[in-house]
Structure 1
Amino acid sequence: MTLVWRHLLRPLCLVTSAPRILEMRPFLSLGASWTSVTKLSLHTRPRMPPCDFTPERYQSLGYNRVLEIHKEHLSPVVTAYFQKPLLLHQGHMEWLFDAEGNRYLDFFSGIVTVSVGHCHPKVNAVAQKQLGRLWHTSTVFFHPPMHEYAEKLAALLPEPLKVIFLVNSGSEANELAMLMARAHSNNIDIISFRGAYHGCSPYTLGLTNVGTYKMELPGGTGCQPTMCPDVFRGPWGGSHCRDSPVQTIRKCSCAPDCCQAKDQYIEQFKDTLSTSVAKSIAGFFAEPIQGVNGVVQYPKGFLKEAFELVRARGGVCIADESKWRHERLWTVMCPSFHTFYFFPLEIAKSLAKRLQYFNTFGGNPMACAIGSAVLEVIKEENLQENSQEVGTYMLLKFAKLRDEFEIVGDVRGKGLMIGIEMVQDKMSRRPLPREEVNQIHEDCKHMGLLVGRGGIFSQTFRIAPSMCITKPEVDFATEVFRSALTQHMERRAK
């Protein structure tokens, strides 16, 4: 296969926009000594685990100056999570430090991208060494970091996943995957799930089916949505449908080896093939677990059967794996290619016949050297095993909160990718109003825990810590959630 790769950590290759500032308030003290956020928290304060790292003293721009620069020069799109957006200063492994001296447990990992932790010492050392040797050269020249990295990546997966394209972002990777699918199949139509997020570029907006990211302007053409097989919020699904130790609380009569919800969703998929696309199609995009839509898991066996239907129509199957960290998935799905690792050689050749593909920053020496170091750290520190063990432990801990609180409708996920969906009540499954979810989110931050958000109504908390996370830190995170939920229920009762 050919890889479309989003560089691990992607340093020096990407400049991201800072959040729009929603409130202008000065720092309490930029010269304050470093402290735990728990000292600033609410009336119930779980004890934050210790950290043996001491960050540098913050000596850069003042908060108000940051606000001024942002409002004058940076993107006006509102992306800030909190009423007072964080001004981050330094990171170490699973921890982040802001300019006021507060420490946070990072359970969102830079939107699920910081795999082995912030500023891992080995990764830092490799980056510094490469920085003194060669910063950048395009792929028209060879350099060892690119080839060493490619060889390590190719060794991770079986045939035919062996040919690699190095690119700069998930959107760019998915655009290239769309182009290659169409070049290989000589067809146009591509299917993706409702609730899918595959990028915000003009081309990939056709694949993305989350209303927040849609525009009134023309986007990618030839893309058709199909029903998302969501066993919690969709029309079918129940307590035996997921390949997971935690099931939805909805009841179903499925046998262990026969999922009726899967069969119903497959019929919907067949209906899309029969009515919305041509007889021959280019392909089908799917996140193995939907990320932006709130860590949505499909019924057991759905993707395998859907992929077979797509191949029968001449299409190729693209698993958008930019946020996926669970090795065992490959034994279940066997996709034609995916945008996080590799393409088959024959699909790569189909593109080469029509286009001399070139990427200025794909294969950057710095990014490739760092990517190789990250892969070495994952192996040396047994981080895949840690992800499975600690991830399962975390999933079960959060599932207990669902049993305790009526507003926690669903807990789902795999490995270190978990979603906690908030509802008004379990019976109706109506989303908890955004302003209430916002307050719970704020309370978690005040107690030192940073998590993400997702879902069509921003009703789902997205949990995705770095692979170095430990069980004591999971215990802290779940206690923070319990405290935030308790405080919310107290506010509701008043």
Structure 2
Amino acid sequence: MTTPDTSRLPLSLPHPAPPPRPYDGPPREEVIALRRQFLSPGLVQYYREPLLIVDGQMQYVWDETGKQYLDGFAGIVTISVGHCHPEIVERVREQVGRLQHTTTIYLHPTIGQLAQKMAAHMPTGSGLDVSYFTNSGSEANEIAILASREHTGNVDVVSLRNSYHGGTQGAMALTAHGNWKFKSSPSHNVKNATPGYCYRCPYGLEYPSCDVRCARDIEELIRYETTGEVACFIGEPIQGVGGVVTPPPEYFQIVYDIVRRHGGLCIADEVQTGFGRTGEHFWGFENWGVTPDLVTMAKGIANGAPLGACVTRPEIAQVMANRVHFNTYGGNPISMTQGLATLEIIDKENLQENARVVGNHLRERLEELKTRHRMVGDVRGKGLMLGVELVLDKTSKTPASAATGEIMELARERGLLLGKSGLYGNVLRIKPPLCITRDDADFMADCLEETLTLVEAQS
């Protein structure tokens, strides 16, 4: 594909500003050289020319040259209330100066306060009151699987094809996405069911005449590929790495019922969908009218600090006392302080409602692009967790993988950072901080309009 002309850059950010402070770090070439020599080659880079980010304020970041970008990917769906939110900065600064680390073998007030806050945000009457804090979503999912197996006495786990649940050995076993699985990592006692990916239905059916066959097929999987009893099912309410795949309304109700009839617990992986990002509800699973037995989370929980959690009912949590289990950094005072501040700011600044209002507006703008551009095959998601699947043409639905990369490069030139996902790398991931404005949303849509026009003209 010919690289589109990037000389014409008429768009301007809605809130231009100078960098918060001058950059006085090592030059870009030195940063690249250090990375190449001393860091793992497995680290992912999106852009042809590596991007050096040195400053952030709310929904914006700056590179070492002072160029400003709207962060449309929120540090991989992690910055929820904004980069360097002043209240978080102040509270963490105070905590760092007081106590940096102690473990859960001692008492510390903030860990209990955050756990209480988490319980208060769960559905009324759900009994989801007990938290186990970790450093990441991978660890949180490991805890959820361990607790489910201990509680049920069963070992088989059902996850979904196209899912992503983390990079540790157990979490990688749950992941059913070939790009993220190593050949040497075992996947014992994990079965992969069919996701609700209507745009690419593996059965060639259409909703709703399909009777949601993808969900009902889990019953056959359990009957044929397990003992007929399972420990649990784990699913993302909206698949993130899989391409913002958003299932039909009945999907999780059907799946949860089948799993529970076969002795299993239900786990909602809220690492990307939680904390108000989907707008209508605080948790992604609430959009589907279900209540899980365990909820795992990370990313937006602490606005960038390494923190994850598994929240469940007391009788399930009790099994973790069957043996000694410990997490050195899980629940440390700094992460707890940042997590508590993040949840309080989400509530105080009404960011869930902002995600709903601004997200709905952005979704409408993206749907308009679909009517005007032949490469926009599907627009999906909720709130500020949106995806645009790009195809070469809408009849064949051939993934436009190369074009997706070109659009990301062009968007970067114009001051917009986006993500990409899906098995073929052809889905634009639009998941900005929850504090973005309507003007920011319009800038994103206008930027995509312009870049799509350029790429389509060259293909």
**Secondary structure of 1:348's match?**
helix
**Could you tell me how far 1:237 is from its partner in structure 2?**
8.1
Answering whether residue 350 of structure 2 is matched by residue 382 of structure 1, we say yes
The residue that corresponds to 2:319 in the other structure is: 350
Aligned equivalent of 1:478, options 417, 429, 445: 445
The residue that corresponds to 1:337 in the other structure is: 294
**Secondary structure of 1:342's match?**
strand
1:451-470 matched pairs, under 5 angstroms: 451-470=418-437
Answering whether residue 254 of structure 2 is matched by residue 305 of structure 1, we say yes
Identity among equivalent pairs (%): 36
Answering whether residue 243 of structure 2 is matched by residue 275 of structure 1, we say no
**Secondary structure of 1:350's match?**
helix
The residue that corresponds to 1:404 in the other structure is: 372
1:427-478 superposed Cα distances (whole Å, 9 cap, x missing partner): 111101x322211110010000001010001010101001101000000011
1:94-493 matched pairs, under 5 angstroms: 94-157=59-122, 158=124, 159-235=126-202, 252=206, 259-324=208-273, 325-326=277-278, 327=281, 329-330=285-286, 332-340=289-297, 342-352=311-321, 354-432=322-400, 434-492=401-459
1:83-94 matched pairs, under 5 angstroms: 83-94=48-59
Distance 1:45 1:211 in 2: 40
**Secondary structure of 2:145's match?**
helix
Paired residues of 1:262 and 1:301 also in contact (CA < 8 A): no
Distance 2:403 2:79 in 1: 29
Paired residues of 1:423 and 1:459 also in contact (CA < 8 A): yes
Distance 2:39 2:22 in 1: 26
**Could you tell me how far 1:351 is from its partner in structure 2?**
2.5
Distance 1:168 1:294 in 2: 25
Structure-2 change in CA distance of 1:413 and 1:262 (3 Å): farther
Distance 2:244 2:228 in 1: 32
Distance 2:129 2:384 in 1: 26
1:78-105 superposed Cα distances (whole Å, 9 cap, x missing partner): 5110011101110000000000110000
Paired residues of 1:108 and 1:464 also in contact (CA < 8 A): yes
Amino acid at match of 2:176: N
Paired residues of 1:196 and 1:287 also in contact (CA < 8 A): yes
Amino acid at match of 1:446: E
Amino acid at match of 1:183: E
**Secondary structure of 1:333's match?**
coil
Structure-2 change in CA distance of 1:42 and 1:417 (3 Å): farther
**Could you tell me how far 1:356 is from its partner in structure 2?**
2.0
Paired residues of 2:54 and 2:63 also in contact (CA < 8 A): yes
The residue that corresponds to 2:305 in the other structure is: none
Distance 2:185 2:72 in 1: 36
Equivalent pairs, count? 433
Amino acid at match of 2:128: L
Amino acid at match of 2:294: F
**Could you tell me how far 1:370 is from its partner in structure 2?**
1.1
Amino acid at match of 1:343: T
Amino acid at match of 1:174: N
The residue that corresponds to 2:307 in the other structure is: none
**Secondary structure of 1:319's match?**
strand
Q: CA RMSD in A?
A: 1.6
**Secondary structure of 2:210's match?**
helix
**Could you tell me how far 1:484 is from its partner in structure 2?**
0.5
The residue that corresponds to 2:304 in the other structure is: none
Does 195-204 or 49-58 show the bigger shift? 49-58
Paired residues of 1:106 and 1:451 also in contact (CA < 8 A): yes
Amino acid at match of 1:448: G
Distance 1:297 1:481 in 2: 21
Structure 2: gaps of 5 or more residues:
298-309
Distance 2:20 2:203 in 1: 50
Structure 1: gaps of 5 or more residues:
1-39, 239-251
**Could you tell me how far 1:66 is from its partner in structure 2?**
0.9
Amino acid at match of 1:491: Q
**Secondary structure of 2:200's match?**
coil
**Could you tell me how far 1:143 is from its partner in structure 2?**
0.9
Amino acid at match of 1:303: F
Amino acid at match of 2:267: I
Distance 1:330 1:488 in 2: 38
The residue that corresponds to 1:248 in the other structure is: none
**Secondary structure of 2:11's match?**
coil
Distance 2:77 2:92 in 1: 21
**Could you tell me how far 1:145 is from its partner in structure 2?**
1.4
Distance 2:382 2:413 in 1: 27
Structure-2 change in CA distance of 1:177 and 1:435 (3 Å): same
1:383-418 superposed Cα distances (whole Å, 9 cap, x missing partner): 111111111111111111111111110000001100
1:44-59 matched pairs, under 5 angstroms: 44-52=9-17, 54-59=19-24
**Could you tell me how far 1:260 is from its partner in structure 2?**
3.1
Structure-2 change in CA distance of 1:266 and 1:152 (3 Å): closer
Amino acid at match of 2:155: I
**Secondary structure of 1:260's match?**
coil
Distance 1:55 1:314 in 2: 55
Provide the TM-score with structure 2 as the length reference.
0.91
The residue that corresponds to 1:82 in the other structure is: 47
